[in-house]
Every structure is written in structure tokens, then in C-alpha cells.
Amino acid sequence: MARFSPFDIQARPNYLLGQALSFVLFVVCLGLYIHTSKARHQENPEDRVVPSAAQLRAGIHSSALEPAEEDDYIAPEGAGKWERFRHSMIWKDTASSGKRFGISLLLFLPAILLALHIGLYPYFNAGFMRFVLFFDKIVALSLLPILIIVFGTDELSKISLIFIGVAPTLILDVIQMVKAVPQEQVVKSFTLGANDFDVTYRVVLKQIMPQIINSLRLNLKPIMLFLFAGEMIAASDGLAYRIAIMRRHMGMDVILPYVLWVALLLFLVDFGLRLVNKRMHPWFQS
Amino acid sequence: MLVALFAFAPRAQAAAPPTFTVGWSVYAGWNPYFYMQKSGILKKWADKYGVVIKVQRFDYAASLDSFVAKNIDACTMTNMEALDMPAAAGVDSTAIVMGDYSNGNDAVLTRNGLTFDKLSGHKVMLVQKTVSEYLLERGMVMNGQQAKLNTLKLINTSDSDIAPAFLNNKGNEAVVTWKPLVSQILEDKSVHSIFDSSKIPGEILDLLVVQTSVLQRPDGSGERFAKAITGAWYETMSQMAGGPQQLAALKGSAAASSDTLESYKEQLKTTALFATPKAATEFTTSPTLKQKMELVRQFCFTHGLLGKGIKSVDDVSIAYPDGSVQGRKDRVRLRFDAKYMQAAMQGKL
Amino acid sequence: MVPVLEMEANALAAAPSSAAGTAIHVDRVTVSYAVGKNTRKVILDEVELEIAAGEFVVVLGETGCGKSTMLRMILGQEQPTAGAIHVAGKTIDRVGASCGYVPQKYSLFPDRTVLGNLMMGPETANYHILGRLKPSFRAFRKAVREQAMKQLERMGLHATDADKYPHQLSGGMQQRVAIAQALMMKPTILLMDEAFSALDPGTRGSLQQMLREIWLETKPTVVFVTHNTAEALFLASRIIVLAKQTGPGRAGAKVALDMRLPETGMSLKKNGQRFLDLVEHIELCSQGFEAAAELTLNFEGNAQ
């Protein structure tokens, strides 16, 4: 057992200690939660602000195994858990939020290609760079009223909010990556008979692909943030819609599982992207 | 997360000069709290009863959250929220001041002459699970369209964006909201009101609700607080109703929501203020209140607003001044108490 | 080794460098850029240079004298402020496939294996994206692959290295692959910018040896930029020294020394004092244009 020395830069905690330390904060949070919940329930057995385990269990049950209130579906007698889950509130909300999320990810493709061109082609750089720099500084949420006026309250406004919020940052990031590709690579490609298309897509894009994926991973949270903002403003389904509705009557027993569910989903998407990166780009040295 | 947990932790009970916090939010019937504090009326009454009263402006949702978390002692809210927020969350609450009822403040607005019988399948923008949805349902029911309730496509829309969102897209055909947003939307001449709260008088009530545990404090400071704020309220009301101070009172209240005097007066026209303690007491002790509350509590229950764990509408009960209880006697969570209003009526404050 | 060198010496003597025609013509090139409102910093001042086909030209000079700028202009990466560059009779205004190029680093595509790097040139030069769908592409690819493996072997790399990624190779191996990659295009002109400068002395020596052998074998025109005089004397058939003018008002570099070597592959071991004299002379020349002009007169007088 190594000496416990938290303020030593050169300390080398052993594996077990390291693992144990990494769980300390989780345990503290959980403990604090349980303590607060207990205390509040002692004072008010029906407290909803910090739901107890039983309340949470009921909340999870109703979100994962019961259809949404506005749904007409009634589970047939003896329906399996999976069957119930597929018609549950959380499934429905995840599907509609997921759709918005997916569409905005698809919309980032042209943005990335634009960035690639801005970084490589002087004319694109001249035409777009200054505007993107300006646009990046716009706080997207403050544009909401305009977005609603222009795009209405349907899917379009939510997706455009995500796009306007995240795309400029992503574009600037990708431009930086393109500019960081050594000039030698471009020159060398031309001497090897490549044309502009080859240099753009087969040399530069291929080379920065893993970095683009990493940038997307970092932007998952902002994407989610803007998606939630959009859904809270006007929606009839979605994860954030449900959270907004549940807030109206302090449904923390449903909100907390939803929050954890979103965290899990984000983690899985992030993990998936990391895996894709590893598989597709074995040469990449981060 | 940690911060949130600490914030939710039970507050230590303050000692020496008992301080009470009242939360209020912008609304025609509640704006007078702003004037009441500014004009010194509140301070006068608080001093009389030896308490300190702080008045704090909140967003409506935030004020309810704070009240449920017991971070504030009293809060303005509608009868519906009193039932589905604190009461349903097990926070025993008492309504001590019957402020007003919405008499046209809330309205169902449609474009192109759309009426209730044709509303089926159309999108309706509103803040879901609030009095707006209640009003819409009552409108449907009173127009014989109860069976079609499920065919409405409700779009939950934040109140901060509902007016521009509705106005700027002709594809939106129906909206349910409240004043001054209603007046704003009605400036578009193609939009008409097809139903408003004046058709359901006394169903959407605006109350001052106090934590029952505060009222029952053994040192009596809670009762003194209730007396002080009730006294201050009715002095404010009498100024609003007429006399030399009327203009100042109206202006001061209008300023609370940065409204012009005209706009505020317009809002007051559709707000049925119980200007005297007598009117308020009469309504609170009448059987009408029970009838109205029955409608509201059924609505809350069928919409799951009483919580996932509540299996029967009777599990969140309401007690009335005559001692009767709506629901199970052992589960009283919301109480209407006319004691302080009565005292004001009799000039005993 | 020695017989080859003698043969080479004869060949040099027999074929005067201008016989095969001009490969590169640096035509009174000036490069300058604005530094303030009214001042311009001059890098190259009316540099005039003709390089014949088959010459191995090493460009020497102190840091910042403009030797890399000159190379980049021949490449087409930079444009002269005045004057022009002609390669094989054509004026160069952009980077094209007329020259092979080996920079000091970042020469290899990190996302391709060694084999992929070698095949990249012939593949892209002959088949653009849609052409790859043609049935003939497969046969072509197979042929290129064989060629690449041969080239790899010639550069002293193993067949097992073919599937490695550049980052898995040492610096010396990377430069070998880089040269091989350029040679796959069978360039008549090869431009090398400090290609061996980042390598350790041992590796550097063996790469110099290899490059010399390639040159002797296929006789491409080579322009090799370096700041190492010994490397220059070993590789060059002709040495160009660029040096800044020190006179008042003029700052750009000019050709301070243009020397055709009577033999190639010079080294201290082989040439003794004569090698040292040349090194000293070259290094003195690189210190300033005016001084160099005087020196050169004397030196050539001595030599004769």
C-alpha cells in the first residue's frame, strides 16, 4: 500500500486505491441524496422534491412500462416487458428527441464540408470566414423569438436552433484542423498528380476525420442543450417536453430517471463514436 | 447537483425577530403586492404585529418550486396549482386570502372562425397542465365536445414565446393563454376569442397560500404574520377601489408588470377582485367554492397532476371553513381558511 | 565503389552540363514582401540561374537567405514578385506533377500505409475518382503494387514494412519511403528541401549514399536544398551558394557562388585538403555576396 499523499504530483497511487478514489464522489453524492431524501420524508412523507427509492421505482415504472398519458395505447393483458417498453412514455420521448438529434447530426455534414472548403480554398475563406467568426459569437438562444417567427414551432425551429447553436463552433473547429494539416501534405499531393478534389476529400478530409469525430463528441452536450431548450419552448413530445411537463407538478420521481437516462444515452453515443474512431482510424494518434 | 441538494436541505428555523417571505409573480390580481410593499402599507402592518415580512418577486413556476421546497413561507398561486403543487406534494397548505377569480383573463382564441365543434384534429398551443388546459377542457365540455377531447393536438408552448409563435405562423389555428398576451394576440383581426374564463366564474381562483406549519407555529408568530399580511392586503384593496390614493395604487400596481395604466385597467376589467373582506369571506364560505373545487380536483386527478403515487382523487383532500372535507379526512392537504378575512371584515385586525 | 566513381568522373567530363538542354530556368527572379507602409523586405534579388537536365544542384546558404523560397518557387508553391520560373520550357504558376518533391518532414500521408503512400501517386495521377470503377483499374493497381514493392526493396525496406503506418517507422525509414513515394512517379526533376536535415549522422550518411546511387543510375535533375556543406560536396555536381548583399540599401540574396564540381562524391576521406579548402571557400562565400565575388575570382585563379 502506497503512502496516501494527495498533494504530491509525483505520487503513484496503486491500482486499487486509484479505483477506489474514483468512486468516492459517487458514493458521497448518493449518500447526500439519500440523507436529504430521508430527512425530507421524515418531515413530509409525501415529499416530491427529493423522491425516495420507492417513489423513484414507481416513477421508473410509469415512465418505462406504461404508455404516455396522451397515448391511446392500452397494453394487452399479459404483455411482455419489452412490448410494454416499446409503447412507454420514455421510449416515445426518446424516439422523437432522437429523431431531432439525428437530423441535426446529418445537417452537420454539409457544415463540415463547408468548413473543409473554407480552410482549403482561399475564395471560400474570403467569402465565409469573417461571417462565421461573427456568427459564432451570436448567442443562439437569444435568437429564439426570431427562429420561432421564421420557422414556426414545428420540428424545423428546434433543429435550426441546434444547428445555429452548434454549427459555427464546429465549423471553426474544423477550419482549425484543416489549417493545421501541414502545407507539405497538400503540395506533395499535387506533385503526385492529385487534383483539387483529391486533395480536399482524399487527403485532407480523410486525415482530419478522426479529429472531426472527436469534435462532435465534445459537442454532444451543446447539441443536447439546444435540443432541450427547443423542446421546452414548444413541443408535444420529447425528453425535454416531458421534463417540462413534469416540472409543473414537481414530478421529480420521473424527472430524475429521465435525467439519468439522457446521461446514459449521451454516454453511449460518445462511446460509440469513440469506438468508430478507433476502428476506422487505427493510424490516428491523438 | 450538490448545490441543488444543499438548497433543498431543510431550512434552519430563524430565531429572534420572526421574518416571513412572501413570493409573488406578475399577474393583474397579484401586482398589488408590489404596490403594498412600495407604499409602506406592508411595513406598517408588519410592525403592528411585530414581524418582518419580505416580499419577493419570482417567475411563477419558480415561486411554486420554492414554496414546495419550503424555502418561502407564503406564495400567490391559483387554486389549481395549490392543489397539484404543494398539496399533492404533501406540503400542507392554507389559503388565507381569496384574491380574485379570472373573469375573462384567460381565453381560448382561434383563427378563421374555428369553433369548438371543428377544433378536433387541429393544433392548439398552450402551456400544458395549467389553467389554460383546464379552460380548454371546460370549453369543450360546455360546448358538448367532451368526446373529442382526445383528438386535440396540444402543443406545449412556453408562455414567454406563445404570442409571437402564434401570431407569426398562420398555420397555428388555436391558442389558449392569458392576459395581457390575450390582448396582444387579439390585435390580429383574424383572431377571435371563442371562450374565456368569464363563462366559468369562480373556477380559476387566485389565492395567497401559506404553509400550514407556519400558521401553526407554537409561538403564534405565524398567525401574527397572517393577520399582518391580510390587513395590509385589504388596506391596499380599499385604496385600489377608490378614494384619494386610487390613482397611486393603480399606477404602483401597473408598474409591477411594467404595464401602462390603461393596459392594467383593461386587465382588471376581466379580473374579478374580491375588493372587500366581506365579498371574499362570503365566497370562501359559500357552497359554490366546493362545487368549483370539485371540477378542478377531478381535472387534476385525471391528468395525473396529483402525482404518480396518487391512486384516488380523494387522497389529496380539501378542507373548507365549515369543517367539511372533500376526500379522505386523514389526508387533508389544502385548507381554505376564512378566519383572517373574517377578522378583517369585522375590523378586528 | 571506386570504379564507379571514376566512370562518373569521365561521364561528367564527356558530357558538358548544358548538352541535355535546360531543365529549370530561374529567370531574373525577385521576391519581396511589404513590411511597412513604404518599405519592402527583399528576399531574392534578380536571381538568374539555369539548371541543365541531369544536374545535381545543391543550393547552400545561411538560414533566411532564401534557398527554400527558391525551391518553393520552382515547385510552384510561391510566386516571384518579379521575373519567372520556367520548368521544361513552361512557366510555373501553380504546383503540378512536373516535379517530384521530398520535404524535410510531413511528406507521408499518415492515414495510409507505406504501400498506400507509394501507390498514391500513380493511382491518383492515372485514375480519378470515377475512373476507379473501370475494370482496367484492377490490373493497373496490381501492376503499381508490384512496382511499389520493388521500389520499397530498392530503398532498403522490407516487404513486411509495407503494411505499416508512417508513425510506426523511424525518421530515416520515413524519408526512404518519402523518396520512394516521389520516385514512383518517375520524375525527371526531383526537388528536395532539407530532406536529410532531421536525421542522425549515421542514417543521414546511408541515405546520402542511396540518393547518390539513384541519381547515378537514372540521372534525374535534382535540386537539393541544405545548409550542410559536406553533404553538398558529396552529392552535388554543381553547387549554388545564395548570400545576402551587404552593401547599403540592398538586402536581397543573389547567387554568390555557382560552381560545377570536377567530380562528385567528394569527401574528406577521399579528397583530403582539397575537400577542406572547398568547404572553407563555400562557407566564406555564404557570408556575403560582395565578399564572395572577390573570393571566387581568387579561388578560380588558384585552381587553374
Q: What is the pLDDT of residue C34?
A: 86
pLDDT in tens, B196-212: 999 999 999 999 999 99
Task: Give, for B15, the enclosing helix (H) or strand (E).
Answer: none
Strands B52-57 and B325-326: unpaired
Among C139, C171, C186, give the residue marking a domain's end. Answer: C186
Look up residue B68 and give its amino acid. Answer: V
Interval A230-235 mean pLDDT: 88
Only one residue has cell 499535387, namely: A190
A194 CB neighbours in chain C (<8 A) are 124-125
B106-199: CATH number: 3.40.190.10
Kindly identify which residue of chain A lies nearest to residue B131, measuring between CA atoms: A248
Give the helix ranges, DSSP H, for chain B: 2-8, 32-38, 41-48, 60-68, 79-82, 131-142, 162-167, 181-186, 212-215, 221-241, 246-256, 261-269, 277-285, 287-302, 339-345
Q: Does A279 touch chain C (CB under 8 A)?
A: no
Residues C123 and C251 in one domain: no
Average model confidence (pLDDT) across chain C: 85
Between chains, do A233 and B161 touch, taking CB under 8 Å as contact? Answer: yes
What value of ipTM does the predicted structure carry?
0.86
Task: Give, for B321, the enclosing helix (H) or strand (E).
Answer: none
Q: Is the pLDDT of residue A5 over 70?
A: yes
Residues A153 and A237 in one domain: yes
**Extended beta strands in A83-226, E state:** none
Distance CA B294, CA C18 (A): 109
Subunits next to A (3 or more Cβ pairs <8 Å) are: B, C
Percent of all residues in chain A with a pLDDT value above 70, rounded to a whole number: 99
Q: What is the pLDDT of residue B8?
A: 47
Cell of A272: 460509440
Between chains, do A40 and B8 touch, taking CB under 8 Å as contact? Answer: yes
Kindly identify which residue of chain A lies nearest to residue B153, measuring between CA atoms: A236
Min CA distance, A50 vs chain B (Å)? 8
Closest partner residue to C111 among A191, A197, A283, by Cβ?
A: A283
Q: Is A244 exposed, middle or buried (0-12, 13-18, 19+ CB in 10 A)?
A: buried
Strands B325-326 and B317-319: antiparallel
Closest partner residue to B89 among A47, A59, A153, by Cβ?
A: A47
Distance CA B182, CA B166 (A): 11
pLDDT in tens, C188-236: 999 999 999 989 999 999 999 999 999 999 999 999 999 999 999 999 9
Kindly identify which residue of chain A lies nearest to residue C165, measuring between CA atoms: A283
Q: Is the pLDDT of residue A60 over 70?
A: yes
Does residue A268 sit within a domain? yes
Between chains, do A191 and C110 touch, taking CB under 8 Å as contact? Answer: no
Give the lowest-confidence range in A83-87, A279-283, C18-22, C152-156: C18-22
Closest partner residue to B164 among A145, A241, A248, by Cβ?
A: A145
Q: What is the pLDDT of residue C109?
A: 95
A30 CB neighbours in chain B (<8 A) are none
Q: Is the pLDDT of residue A49 over 50?
A: yes
Residues C220 and C152 in one domain: no
Does residue C51 sit within a domain? yes
Domain tally, chain A: 2
Subunits next to C (3 or more Cβ pairs <8 Å) are: A
Q: Is A139 exposed, middle or buried (0-12, 13-18, 19+ CB in 10 A)?
A: exposed
Closest partner residue to B89 among A48, A149, A235, by Cβ?
A: A48
Provide DSSP, chain C: -HHHHHHHHHHHHHS-TTTT-EEEEEEEEEEEEE-SSS-EEEEEEEEEEEEETT-EEEEEE-TTSSHHHHHHHHHTSS--SEEEEEETTEE--S--TTSEEE-SS--S-TTS-HHHHHHHHHHHHH--TTGGGSTHHHHHHHHHHHHHHHHHHHTT--GGGGGS-GGGS-HHHHHHHHHHHHHTT--SEEEEESTTTTS-HHHHHHHHHHHHHHHHHH--EEEEE-S-HHHHHHH-SEEEEEEE--STT---EEEEEEEE-SSSS--HHHHTHHHHHHHHHHHHHTT-HHHHHHHHHHHHHHH-
Closest partner residue to A185 among C94, C97, C106, by Cβ?
A: C106
User: What is the residue range of A32's domain?
Assistant: 1-47
Between chains, do A187 and C95 touch, taking CB under 8 Å as contact? Answer: yes
Domain tally, chain C: 2
* Cβ–Cβ under 8 Å, residues C196 and C175: yes
Q: Does C128 touch chain A (CB under 8 A)?
A: yes
- Chains B and C: 3 or more CB pairs within 8 Å of each other: no
Kindly identify which residue of chain A lies nearest to residue C110, measuring between CA atoms: A283
Residues A124 and A261 in one domain: yes
Residues C211 and C292 in one domain: yes
Q: Does C297 touch chain A (CB under 8 A)?
A: no
Choose, out of C114, C120, C140, C184, the residue to mutate when testing the contact with A (most A CBs < 10 Å).
C120
Q: What is the pLDDT of residue C19?
A: 41
Residues C93 and C122 in one domain: no
* Cβ–Cβ under 8 Å, residues B45 and A75: no
> Which residues on adjacent β-strands are paired with residue B74?
B22, B210
Give the helix ranges, DSSP H, for A44-121: 53-65, 81-86, 89-120
Min CA distance, A80 vs chain C (Å)? 49
Residues A151 and A9 in one domain: no
Does residue A170 sit within a domain? yes
Distance CA B89, CA B22 (A): 19
Distance CA C148, CA C167 (A): 19
Domain map (residue ranges) of chain B: 18-101+204-345, 106-199
Subunits next to B (3 or more Cβ pairs <8 Å) are: A
Between chains, do A184 and C126 touch, taking CB under 8 Å as contact? Answer: no
User: What is the residue range of C177's domain?
Assistant: 109-186
Q: Does A206 touch chain C (CB under 8 A)?
A: yes
Distance CA B268, CA B260 (A): 12
Residues 66-85 of C with CB under 8 A from A: 75-77
pLDDT in tens, B131-150: 999 999 999 999 999 999 88
Residues C210 and C291 in one domain: yes
Distance CA C241, CA C287 (A): 10
Residues A4 and A100 in one domain: no
Cell of B316: 389529496
Distance CA C192, CA B42 (A): 88
pLDDT in tens, B109-135: 999 889 999 998 899 999 999 999 999
Q: What is the largest CA-CA distance in chain C?
A: 66
Residues C167 and C120 in one domain: yes
Residues A19 and A142 in one domain: no
φ, ψ of residue C61 in degrees (nearest 5) = 160, 165
Interval C57-63 mean pLDDT: 91
Q: What is the pLDDT of residue A143?
A: 82
Q: What is the pLDDT of residue A2?
A: 55
Interval A232-236 mean pLDDT: 87
Angle at B65 between CA B59 and CA B68, to 5 degrees: 140
DSSP single-letter state for residue B189: T
**Domain holding C36: CATH number?**
3.40.50.300
Is it true that domain B18-101+204-345 has CATH number 3.40.50.970? no
Q: Is the pLDDT of residue B14 over 50?
A: no
Residues 169-188 of A with CB under 8 A from C: 182-185, 187-188
A200 CB neighbours in chain C (<8 A) are none
Between chains, do B5 and A46 touch, taking CB under 8 Å as contact? Answer: no
Among C186, C205, C232, give the residue marking a domain's end. Answer: C186
Q: Is the pLDDT of residue C89 over 90?
A: no
Question: Under DSSP, is residue B81 helix (H, G, I), strand (E, B) or coil?
Answer: helix
Interval A19-35 mean pLDDT: 96
Q: Does A32 touch chain B (CB under 8 A)?
A: yes
pLDDT confidence band for C299 (50 / 70 / 90) = low
* Cβ–Cβ under 8 Å, residues B307 and B294: no
Residues C52 and C198 in one domain: yes
Look up residue B314 and give its amino acid. Answer: D
Q: What is the pLDDT of residue A77?
A: 77
- Choice between A213 and C254, residue whose per-residue pLDDT is larger: A213
Residues 146-175 of C with CB under 8 A from A: 165-167
Residues A137 and A15 in one domain: no
Residues C153 and C234 in one domain: no
**Which pairs from C2-10 meet CB under 8 Å and 24+ separation?**
C4/C216, C5/C263, C5/C264, C5/C265, C8/C216, C8/C263, C8/C264, C8/C265, C9/C262, C9/C263, C9/C264
Does residue A144 sit within a domain? yes
Kindly identify which residue of chain A lies nearest to residue B85, measuring between CA atoms: A249
Percent of all residues in chain C with a pLDDT value above 90, rounded to a whole number: 47
Q: What is the pLDDT of residue B108?
A: 96
Between chains, do A189 and C185 touch, taking CB under 8 Å as contact? Answer: no
Q: What is the pLDDT of residue C300?
A: 53
**Domain holding A141: CATH number?**
1.10.3720.10
> Which residues on adjacent β-strands are paired with residue A234?
B157
Closest partner residue to A233 among B153, B158, B306, by Cβ?
A: B158
Q: Does A40 touch chain B (CB under 8 A)?
A: yes
Between chains, do C121 and A193 touch, taking CB under 8 Å as contact? Answer: yes
Q: What is the pLDDT of residue A81?
A: 85
pLDDT in tens, A135-188: 999 888 888 778 877 887 788 889 999 999 999 999 999 999 999 999 999 999
Does residue A130 sit within a domain? yes
Give the lowest-confidence range in A114-128, B190-204, C280-294: C280-294
Distance CA B225, CA B94 (A): 13
Q: What is the pLDDT of residue A43?
A: 86
A247 CB neighbours in chain B (<8 A) are 61, 65
Choose, out of A24, A43, A49, A260, the residue to mutate when testing the contact with B (most B CBs < 10 Å).
A49
Q: What is the pLDDT of residue C16?
A: 39
Residues A37 and A134 in one domain: no
Cis peptide before B180 (omega within 30 of 0): yes
pLDDT in tens, B248-273: 999 999 999 888 999 899 999 999 99
Separation in Å, CA C25 to CA A102, C21, C91:
57, 11, 9
pLDDT confidence band for C185 (50 / 70 / 90) = very high
Q: Is the pLDDT of residue B309 over 80?
A: no
Kindly identify which residue of chain A lies nearest to residue C108, measuring between CA atoms: A185
Distance CA B116, CA B140 (A): 6
Cell of C82: 518579379
Does residue A75 sit within a domain? no
CB atoms within 10 A of CB A107: 15
- Chains C and A: 3 or more CB pairs within 8 Å of each other: yes
Does residue C241 sit within a domain? yes
Q: Is the pLDDT of residue C142 over 60?
A: yes
Among C186, C210, C238, give the residue marking a domain's end. Answer: C186
Q: Does A10 touch chain B (CB under 8 A)?
A: no
Closest partner residue to A191 among C100, C109, C166, by Cβ?
A: C100
Between chains, do A283 and C110 touch, taking CB under 8 Å as contact? Answer: yes
